Amino acid sequence: MRSTMVEKVDVAVIGGGPAGMTAASRIKRLKPELRVAVFERSGYVSYAPCGLPYYLGGLVDSLEHLVHYPVRVFTEERGIEVYTRTEVVEVGDGYLRARDASGERTYEWGKLLIATGARPKVPPVEGVDLEGVFTLRVLEDGEKARRYLEKATRVAVVGGGYIGLEVAENLVRAGKTVLLFEVLDHVFPAVDPDMALLVEKELARNGVELHLGEGLKGIHGRDRVESLETTKGEYKVDAVFIATGVAPETRLAEKLGVKKGSTGALSVDKSMRTNVDDVYAAGDVAEALNLVTGKNDWFPLAPVANKMGYVAGAAMAGLKAEFPGAVGTSITKVFGLEVGRAGLTTARAQQEGFDPVSVMINANSKASYYPGSSAMSVKLIADRRTGQLLGGQIIGGDGVLARLNSLAVLLSFRARVEDAFFSDLGYAPPFSPVWDPIVTAARVLLGKIREA
């Protein structure tokens, strides 16, 4: 019976992550009379998968803490229909079919938001389906992994990006022996190799067994993980975390005829409209403008997703709203180091046709005489011809976000190195040297550009 019923909603949102829930909330706020329904595969909406590594390490003791708002806030307070544990299995012109434990149902929609996010990329090798192999996407993944880890002592992490690094740190925190495998020569390709080196030292200092330049060949075991095979050897491990990047979850959208951009994510205009009438996309599934290059790019990061959702919601409610773009700002903690980056790396700047020139300086996080000051390394990259600031990377014991955020705003205004030098950043002995590390780096970079 139930599967033959057809419900009509004004707006259907596929995906209850940051973009989807922000958009749905915005629409109901602006147009309370609209019927808005959100379909989410997992058991949670408005969740913070970024917190999962800390749940594994025990810093966060309950998954409930990773939920920004429970479902009832959206349903009762905001009047949004939320269908969790519900998978959209088909989507077509003006309708979709959703399946939950009780069966299937068809919904007709006036407008559709695709907020399906990104999914972990899993290398196509033998054994990735074995028990004891994990990826972290939805909260349930964290729950399963944490339970499994109780009986694991040696754990492999495959992939040295954000998630791999955060998982490695937290596994060490949980008392595991951790082997980190990265197919490239350095961890963390979001920063230049000279900066990645600092991260690698910190990993080693904290007991992570680092395997660089080793690709995953397979995972072996009878019923569950027993070993991991790479291009260089085989390692006995009890569990494996795969963190080899993410890909936009575009499959449903493609069936609707939504076009992808050059990054592989969905192509949208500034109001989050796709090429298909009344179909919008926001969050990790969609592209956004890179304010440094002026070209479309892909930023699968929660703050960007939230803002895209906010714009999509406003636009779907009939307001003029535009998402200007992003600069790829991100930060992570790797044991005692804070690692931030924004804009382009040197390699990426070259690919984009810039003529990158860079400096790396060492500074103190606070006035050198103030207790608790720690060492900080700042790398700034600019275009030699125009002096445009292209990107930067900051690694230190504390105070990294303060420098990163100033850099991020500078980049979004397409600032020149000179603008960075003249930035009027906050100073007092407990917070900064009188020449802020960003200002110092800009001063040195200015000199290098002028001499050239």
- The answer to whether residue 340 forms part of the interface with a second copy (CB under 8 A) is yes
Q: Which is nearer to a second copy, 34 or 439 (CB)?
A: 439
Nearer to a second copy, 95 or 427 (CB): 427
Q: Minimum distance between the CB of residue 217 and a second copy, rounded to whole angstroms?
A: 31
How many residues bind a second copy (CB under 8 A)? The answer is: 70
Q: Does 370 bind a second copy (CB under 8 A)?
A: yes
| Cα gap 248→262, rounded to integer Å | 12
- Token pair listed for 382: 């600019």
- The reply to whether 405 sits near a second copy by the rule CB under 8 A is yes
DSSP for 143-205 reads HHHHHHHTT-SEEEEE--SHHHHHHHHHHHHTT-EEEEEESSSSS-TTS-HHHHHHHHHHHHH
The phi, psi pair for 30, rounded to 5°, reads: -85, -35
The CB-of-377 to a second copy minimum distance in angstroms stands at 16
CB 145 within 8 A of CB 136: yes
Residue 267, Cβ density class (10 Å: 0-12 exposed, 13-18 middle, ≥19 buried): middle
286-302 burial code (b ≥16 CB/10 A, e <16): bbbbbbbbeebbbbbbb
> Judged by CB under 8 A, which stretch of 73-81, 126-134, 187-195, 422-430 contacts a second copy?
422-430
Q: Which stretch binds a second copy (CB under 8 A): 124-132, 220-228, 270-278, 361-369?
A: 361-369
Residues 6+ apart with CB under 8 A from 428: none
Query: Is the alpha carbon torsion for 214, 216, 217, 220 positive or negative?
Result: positive
Residue 452 to residues 157, 235, 426, Cα–Cα distance (Å): 43, 49, 31
Q: Does 410 bind a second copy (CB under 8 A)?
A: yes
- What is the nearest approach in angstroms of a second copy to the Cβ of residue 363? 13
Q: Quote the least distance from Cβ 267 to a second copy, whole Å.
A: 20
Out of 354, 403, 437, 449, name the contact with a second copy by CB under 8 A.
403
Q: Does 333 bind a second copy (CB under 8 A)?
A: yes
Strands 234-236 and 227-230: antiparallel
Give yes or no for residue 68 binding a second copy (CB under 8 A). Answer: yes
Nearer to a second copy, 175 or 324 (CB): 324
Residues labelled as active-site residues: 50
As a whole number of angstroms, the distance between CA 440 and CA 7 comes to 61
Among 15, 18, 248, 309, binds a second copy (CB under 8 A): 18
* CA torsion, ordered 115, 161, 338, 359, to nearest 10 deg: -110
Q: Does 307 help bind a second copy (rule: CB under 8 A)?
A: yes
Write the interaction track for a second copy spanning residues 35-54; mark x where CB under 8 A is met and - where it is not.
-------------x-xx--x
324: contact with a second copy by CB under 8 A: yes
Q: Which of residues 225-284 bind a second copy (CB under 8 A)?
A: none
Among 183, 331, 361, 444, binds a second copy (CB under 8 A): 331
Shortest spacing between CB 361 and a second copy, in angstroms: 16
Sign of the Cα torsion 46, 51, 53, 58 reads negative
117 vs 113: CA distance, rounded Å: 11
Which helix or strand (DSSP H or E) is residue 83 part of?
strand 81-83
Is 424 among the residues that bind a second copy (CB under 8 A)?
Answer: yes
Does 128 sit near a second copy (CB under 8 A)? no
Alpha-carbon distances, residue 8 vs 111, 130, 442 (angstroms): 11, 41, 57
Stretch that binds a second copy, among 211-219, 231-239, 250-258, 424-432 (CB under 8 A): 424-432
* Residue 423 makes contact with a second copy by CB under 8 A: yes
Q: Is 353 in the site for a second copy (CB under 8 A)?
A: no
Q: What is the DSSP string of 327-362?
A: ---EEEEETTEEEEEEE--HHHHHHTT--EEEEEEE
Q: Residues interacting with a second copy, by CB under 8 A?
A: 18, 48, 50-51, 54, 59-60, 65-66, 68, 162, 166, 291, 301-304, 306-307, 310, 323-324, 326-333, 338, 340, 342, 367-371, 399, 401-406, 408-413, 415, 419, 421-432, 434-436, 439, 443
